[in-house]
């Protein structure tokens, strides 16, 4: 077990019910506690109902476990309509007896706060639904609506405990949603204590951009991820991006691959980059960062390796046109499907959306080479710390898949080129710095290798020039 973190250890003690939600099952080491109740709480619009419904849909479709969704606010018709936008055919699942949606209308004024008030009617109705389809999973949405008109705290607490005990005695794997309270996780302040697992969902606004986070607050009988994890709601439902491999257990390669520029390979011990390494290219505007990245992409495609290029500043057609000026034709690789561009303005979404989008595109295309150009544009939607955390996650994921990665970073004029606002230089295996200097009223470009782990790289600063034949790095003697 040495060398593994908590999220990689096996858990053989508590049986779990997988949710089928990407990322959540990794964080929980297999899913929610089987035969027990899980509380999913958070503010309005954070995704509680969706998480509960996904738990039932995936249970019915992927794991052969029918489910009952008992709702106290939305009607069955409203839920079917709302979830259809995410590709969930609840009507079909209902007709095939794999899912029951039961809307229970609770009128506050009809609730009598007497010693005789209890949930017996609810239990009878719920048990009938469970038995009719042999349900293994249950969702109650939301618990506040069920107890909306009950203000006697002693009765409230007694009935809450009774509800959770009843579900456990029935062996139901249950998800109960709850609204966030003013002073606690929930309005009643008891649900989190009687639940075996508590999942907290949060939606916040940072720099005018909405972001979502998921946090497992407790999980009795099981280790679990302790951090806040970014998640998004897409046309595929909820997607959570976990940290699952920060133990630095990823493949290490001895193979060297060309940078696409012969003299740059010479500067890198004569052999180029290590496969699976992370290369940082930093410099001010106009120094040629994208051009050097594209030369590497061109060389990779010539070897028949697939490349994924995340361009957060220039559109695909502009990059293809500009590379023609230095004798690099990337269009054939795009046409063959070896080179795929993903273009998006960072300000369009929050950091967690870009994080999961990168992850999804990498999963789908399975590239050998990834370029992120530039990482500096994320400054507009997050703090330096947030960006560093995001890039640490994506770099770790890329390394775990053996993908060679180019990170392009724009340095601001007047600041040291030997630093990045994102503070991720320590994560790079090789780091090249590009400079634009004025000498004798003429601007010249300079390049040097600041570091390159595991190789005897040059420490000299070289001038380089662009032409229609490519990038020419001058020999050190020629600069004298």
Q: For the chain, which residues make up each domain, given as ranges?
A: 6-240, 256-479
- Parallel, antiparallel or unpaired: strands 369-373 and 256-257: unpaired
Of residues 11 and 34, the one with the higher pLDDT is: 34
How far apart, in whole angstroms, are the C-alpha atoms of residue 190 and residue 156? Answer: 9
What digits encode the pLDDT tens for the residues 315-356? 999 999 999 999 999 999 999 999 999 988 766 666 777 777
CATH class of the region 6-240: alpha beta
Same CATH topology for 6-240 and 256-479: the answer is yes
Of residues 207 and 261, the one with the higher pLDDT is: 261
Q: What is the DSSP letter of 288?
A: S
Establish whether the linkage from the previous residue to 142 is cis, with ω within 30° of 0.
Answer: yes
Of 112-116, 128-132, 188-192, 290-294, which gets the smallest average pLDDT? 112-116
How far apart, in whole angstroms, are the C-alpha atoms of residue 69 and residue 369? Answer: 44
What is the pTM for the complete model shown? 0.72
Q: How far is CA 476 from CA 112, 273, 386, 436, 446, in A?
A: 90, 21, 40, 17, 11
pLDDT at 113: 46
pLDDT of 243 above 70: no
Q: What angle do CA 242, 248, 250 make, to 5 degrees?
A: 95
- Find tokens 């009935």 and name the residue: 159
pLDDT at 47: 92
* CB contact set of 414 (below 8 Å; sequence gap of 6+): none
Instruction: Please say whether the structural domain 256-479 has been given the CATH code 3.40.50.300.
Output: yes
Query: Which H or E element spans position 392?
Result: helix 384-400
């Amino acid at each position: 077990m040495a060398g593994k973190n908590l999220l990689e250890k096996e858990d053989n003690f508590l049986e779990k019910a997988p949710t089928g939600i990407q990322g959540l099952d990794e964080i929980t080491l297999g899913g929610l506690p089987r035969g027990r109740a899980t509380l999913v709480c958070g503010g309005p619009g954070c995704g509680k109902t969706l998480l509960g419904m996904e738990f039932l849909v995936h249970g019915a479709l992927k794991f052969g476990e029918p489910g009952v969704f008992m709702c106290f606010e939305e009607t069955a018709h409203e839920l079917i309509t709302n979830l259809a936008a995410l590709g969930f055919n609840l009507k079909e699942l209902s007709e095939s007896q794999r899912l029951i949606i039961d809307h229970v209308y609770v009128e506050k004024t009809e609730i009598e706060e007497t010693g005789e008030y209890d949930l017996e009617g609810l239990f009878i109705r719920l048990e009938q639904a469970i038995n009719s389809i042999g349900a293994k999973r249950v969702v109650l949405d939301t618990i506040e609506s069920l107890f909306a008109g009950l203000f006697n705290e002693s009765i409230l607490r007694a009935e809450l405990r009774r509800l959770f005990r009843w579900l456990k005695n029935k062996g139901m794997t249950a998800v109960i949603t709850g609204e966030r309270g003013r002073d606690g996780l929930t309005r009643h302040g008891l649900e989190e204590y009687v639940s075996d697992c508590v999942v907290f969902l949060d939606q916040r606004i940072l720099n005018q951009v909405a972001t979502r986070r998921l946090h497992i607050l407790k999980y009795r009988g099981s280790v679990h991820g302790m951090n806040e994890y970014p998640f998004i709601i897409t046309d595929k439902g909820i997607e959570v991006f976990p940290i699952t491999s920060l133990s630095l257990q990823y493949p290490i390669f001895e193979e060297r691959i060309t940078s696409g520029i012969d003299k740059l390979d010479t500067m890198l011990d004569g052999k180029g980059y290590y496969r699976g390494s992370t290369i940082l290219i930093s410099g001010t505007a106009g120094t040629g960062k994208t051009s050097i990245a594209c030369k590497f992409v061109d060389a990779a495609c010539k070897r028949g390796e697939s490349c994924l290029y995340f361009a957060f500043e220039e559109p695909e057609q502009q990059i293809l046109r500009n590379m023609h000026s230095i004798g690099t034709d990337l269009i054939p690789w795009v046409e063959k499907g070896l080179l795929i561009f993903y273009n998006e303005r960072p300000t369009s979404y929050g950091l967690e959306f870009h994080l999961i989008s990168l992850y999804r595109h990498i999963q789908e295309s399975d590239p050998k080479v990834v370029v992120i150009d530039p990482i500096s544009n994320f400054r507009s939607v997050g703090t330096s710390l947030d960006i560093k955390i995001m890039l640490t996650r994506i770099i770790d994921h890329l390394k775990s898949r053996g993908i060679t990665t180019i990170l392009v970073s724009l340095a601001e004029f007047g600041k040291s080129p030997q630093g990045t606002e994102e503070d991720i230089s320590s994560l790079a295996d090789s780091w090249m710095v590009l400079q634009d200097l004025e000498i004798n009223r003429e601007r010249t470009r300079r390049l040097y290798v600041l570091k390159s782990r595991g190789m005897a790289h040059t420490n000299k600063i070289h001038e380089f020039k662009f032409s229609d034949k490519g990038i020419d790095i001058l020999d050190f003697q020629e600069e004298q």
